[in-house]
Amino acid sequence: MKKLNLTDKRKSDYFYSEAIKTLRTNIQLSGQSIKTILITSCFPNEGKSDVVLSLAQELGSIGKNVLLLDADIRKTAYAGRLGVEEEIKGLSQLLSGQVGLQDIIYSTNFPNMDIIFGGPSAPNPSGLLSENIFRVFLKEIREYYNYILIDTPPIGTVIDAAVIGRCCDGAIFLVQPGNVRYRDAQKAFKQLERSGCRVLGAVMSKVDTSDDKYYSSYYKHYGEYYSRSDEESGKK
C-alpha cells in the first residue's frame, strides 16, 4: 500500500472540534454493526466533505482504523484539497475495471486513516455504482476497518447517494440552516430513507455559534482553558 503525505490547511476551531467529537460519540453509540457510513447533504457547498475528513481524523485519533472513501466520481475534490500533486488512482477506475483494489487504497500521515480517491470523472456514475462490483468491493474492505466513511454527491441533486445507500449500514444527512428549504430537505431525507439505508441522524452544518451568547461564552471559556493547559504542558 502506497503512503501519501496529506496536508490539511484548515484552521483549528474549538467549537467545530467539539461538534465533531460529539458526532463521533453518537456514531459509536449506534452499535458495532454500523461500519459503512454514507454521509451526504441536500445541495453542494454545505460543508459535507469537511465533516467527513474531520470525522475520519477524529476516529483515527482514538485508535479506530478508518477508511475515507470518496464516492463522488462526478466531481472529486480531495486530491486538490489535501495537496496531492502526484498521479493517483481512484474508485472510478476500479469500478470500470482499469485497476485492482490494491491500486487505489492509500495510507496517510493521519493516524489510522486510509483514503480512496474518487478518480477521474466517470460518464455514467450512477450506472457504475449500481453494478455488483461496488457491493462486492464494500463487503471485502469492511473486514479491514472499524469504520468506512463514504462521501457521496448531494442527494438533492443526483441519485448516487441513494444507490450507494443500498450497500451501507447507516447514513448521516447534513443540512445547512438558512440555506436549504424545509421542503427540499424533507424530500432529500425521504429519498435517502427509501434506499433502505438506516438514517443515523441529521447534522446541522456551518452553524454560527457566536449568535448564542450562552454557548459562545461557555465554549470560549473552556477553549481558552484547554489552550492554556496545552501550552503549560509543553513548557514542562
Candidates 16, 109, 18; CA nearest to 60 is 109
d(CA 182, CA 188) in angstroms, rounded, equals 10
Q: How would residue 214 be classed by pLDDT, with cut points 50, 70 and 90?
A: very low
Q: Kindly state the DSSP code that residue 124 receives in the 8-state scheme.
A: S
Give per-residue pLDDT as tens, 80-138: 999 999 999 999 999 999 999 999 999 999 999 999 999 999 889 999 999 999 999 99
Predicted local distance difference test score (pLDDT) of residue 178:
78
Write the pLDDT tens digit of every residue in 11-21: 888 889 999 99
* Position 218 pLDDT exceeds 50: no
Which CATH architecture describes the domain 30-152+165-205? 3-Layer(aba) Sandwich (3.40)
Statement: residue 231 has pLDDT above 50 = no
Residue bearing the bigger pLDDT, 44 or 140? 140
Q: pLDDT at position 44, please? A: 86
Task: Identify the CA nearest to 1 among candidates 84, 86, 102.
Answer: 102
Torsion angle defined by CA atoms of residues 154, 32, 108 and 152, in that order, rounded to the nearest 10 degrees: -10
d(CA 59, CA 53): 10
Angle at 56 between CA 199 and CA 53, to 5 degrees: 95
- Where does 34-146 show beta strands of DSSP type E? 36-41, 66-70, 106-108, 113-116
pLDDT score, position 208: 65
Q: Rounded to the nearest 10 degrees, what angle do helices 14-28 and 213-235 cross at? A: 90
Q: Summarize the confidence of residues 29-42 as an average pLDDT.
A: 94
Whether 207 has a pLDDT exceeding 80, the answer reads no
Residue 232 has pLDDT above 80, yes or no: no
Residue 225's pLDDT band (cuts 50, 70, 90): very low
Read off the pLDDT of each residue in 175-182 and give the average, rounded to a whole number.
83
- Indicate the domain borders of the chain: 30-152+165-205
Can you read off the three cell numbers belonging to residue 225?
Answer: 482553558
Q: Which residues, other chains included, contact 170 with Cβ-Cβ below 8 Å and sequence gap of 6+?
A: 30, 34, 36, 37, 38, 197, 198, 199, 200
The pTM (predicted TM-score) of the whole model is: 0.86
Q: What is the pLDDT of residue 70?
A: 97
Average pLDDT of the residues in 167-193: 89
Residue with cell 444507490: 163
pLDDT at 213: 45
Which residue spans within the chain are E strands per DSSP?
2-4, 36-41, 66-70, 106-108, 113-116, 147-151, 170-175, 199-204
pLDDT at 220: 40
